[in-house]
Every structure is written in structure tokens, then in C-alpha cells.
Amino acid sequence: MKPEQKEDIARLLESRTHDIFDAVDCRNFDPDSPIWSYLANDIVIETELFGQLEKQTKETWLKYLRVLFTENPDMRNHITSMETKVSENAAWAETFSTLETTGIAMIPGVKKDTLAIYTWRKLNGRWVIVKTKSISGLDHANYVP
């Protein structure tokens, strides 16, 4: 695959990743919304909160996000950097997004840094997220100036 083709794929997936975070910040958790067609129907979730790999349906994951953001109405994610690695044969890709999250109800006034990794696969001619992983930064909480 030519480097420029991989760059085009990376730009597409990064744009979709931005759109997903925008949907979360706008509290759009309707599973029928077009944005969520970028998630596989069965998705693997790995977070420090769960501490393990857990396969869930798209609807279950969106319900979890709805509850989380209802309990934290001021919570917002800000992408500070993003990089995407596309496999040589373009069968899969990973998007690495560095986030700053603010508005967490349990820790008001604190900024939380996280690395969010989306694993994309091309299924039936469409790029979809098949796995998400989030890792808290080494400096778990910084006061927002």
C-alpha cells in the first residue's frame, strides 16, 4: 500500500474519532445516530476502571456512557494530540488520542489525562471500532489553572 493511501485512511479515522468525542461531549448516545455506526455491534472495552477486557454490545457501551455523563454533567473531553497507525495491508488501524478530561463530579477542579486507543478494522468494506482501551496518564490529576 502506498504511503499516501495510508495517510488518507489515517486522516479519515482521526476525523471519525474527533466526531465520536464530539458526540460524547454533546451527549448524543442514541445508538441509531449515524456516528455510532463507526462502532462494531460487539466491541471489546478495556479500561482501568474495569481492569479487564470485556466484550459488550454497542448498546450496552452507550448506556454506560449515558449514565457516566449523566452523573457528571460538566464532564468534557479535550483531545490534545492524536496519531494513527495503519497496518501495511490496511486491514486494521489504531488511533491514539491523548485527552484532558475536566468536570468530573468526584474531583472538581481537576484535569485528568488519558490515552484513548481505538482499534479499527475494515469489516464488509467499512471501518469500525472493534476495541477501545483507555489508560490514565502517569500524572493522574492536575489542578486546572
* Domain extent listing, the chain: 3-143
Architecture, CATH, for domain 3-143: Roll (3.10)
Tens digit of each residue's pLDDT (9 = 90 or more) over 9-43: 999 999 999 999 999 999 999 999 999 999 999 98
What does DSSP assign to residue 68?
A: H
Tens digit of each residue's pLDDT (9 = 90 or more) over 43-94: 888 866 545 557 788 999 899 899 999 999 999 999 999 999 999 888 999 9
Tens digit of each residue's pLDDT (9 = 90 or more) over 119-142: 999 999 999 999 999 888 655 444
Helices (H) and strands (E) in the chain, counts: 2, 7
pTM: 0.87
Q: Quick one: how far is CA 57 from the chain centroid? A: 15
Is the pLDDT score of 143 beyond 60?
Answer: no
On the CB side of 123, CA atoms within 13 Å amount to 12
Is the pLDDT score of 116 beyond 80?
Answer: yes
